[in-house]
Amino acid sequence: MKIVTHKFRIKEDQVCYLVNLVDYNGRPLESHVAMNNKEKSEVSEDLALKHSVSTVYHNSGFSIIE
């Protein structure tokens, strides 16, 4: 498993981040919305600790692909 983050357009004029715990096939198992970069990092760290995941990818675009 790994954690992948990417930008997410919550409304037409509002961009936030989606933090996904994904399996080895890239399918999301758990997803969380973070409203800013700091919150994205905090949620990623919490998920990594909770699920013992050491790989975290922070994508700069709107795609889940790392």
pLDDT, tens digit only, all 66 positions of the chain:
999 999 988 888 999 999 999 999 989 999 999 999 999 999 999 999 999 999 999 988 887 654
Closest-CA residue to 44 (of 34, 16, 35): 34
17 within some domain: yes
63 within some domain: no
Range list of H helices, the chain: 37-51
- The number of folded domains in the chain is 1
Measured CA to CA, the distance from residue 65 to residue 24 in angstroms comes to: 12
49 within some domain: yes
Structure tokens at 23: 């399996």
Cβ neighbours, 10 Å, residue 58? 15
Q: Which domain holds residue 23?
A: 2-58
Distances (CA, A) of 14 to 2, 7, 43: 26, 10, 19
